[in-house]
Amino acid sequence: MDVKEILITAMNLEKKGEEFYSRAVMDVEDPVAKNTLLFLAEEEKRHREFINGIYKSLGKEEELKKMKDQFTGSSVFPDYSKFVSRVKTTEKDAGILREAREIEIRSEEFYREKQKEVTGEIEREILEMLAKEERKHLKWIEYLQEFVEEHGYWTGIDEHFSLDGA
């Protein structure tokens, strides 16, 4: 698989993640759950847009470097401040989090595997950044899952994870 094919597949993965989180919003009652799932959908959308920018910049080293720098800047990510409240969860909420966990695991594995296939240093670095983002999402999901199982309500991800990583 060449870099272009990897990026097309990556954009499709991010789109599926965005669609999953957007649909899941309809299945939860808790406003914090809704905000958190919307946040995750927006993260997937931003990743897809970023990957599309990489795709368009292939072969242009300076543009790729700018894309990489843009991704590491905090301006790429939305504000977490809205995600705080306590409302009882349902089994459906736990199921959504289980599926979200699997999505993030598969996405990270995809980026890690594809890193081995590309030859360009910048492409490898970008795929590494994307894998780390999926790992960060996985940590968020696992935290939310544990909290829901232990306490029976959603909590905002901003309470335990900083904007720059977890």
At 83 the pLDDT is 37
pLDDT band at 88 (very low <50, low <70, confident <90, very high): low
pLDDT digits (tens, 9 = 90+) for 144-154: 888 888 878 77
Question: Do the domain assignments include residue 165?
Answer: no
**Mean pLDDT, range 53-63, rounded to an integer:** 81
Question: Do the domain assignments include residue 35?
Answer: yes
Question: Do the domain assignments include residue 17?
Answer: yes
CATH of the domain at 118: 1.20.1260.10
Question: Do the domain assignments include residue 89?
Answer: yes
- Closest residue by Cα to residue 13 from 127, 91, 119: 127
The domain tally of the chain equals 1
Question: Do the domain assignments include residue 166?
Answer: no
Question: Do the domain assignments include residue 90?
Answer: yes
**Mean pLDDT, range 131-153, rounded to an integer:** 88
Question: Do the domain assignments include residue 164?
Answer: no
> Which range of residues forms the domain containing residue 142?
3-159
pTM comes to 0.74
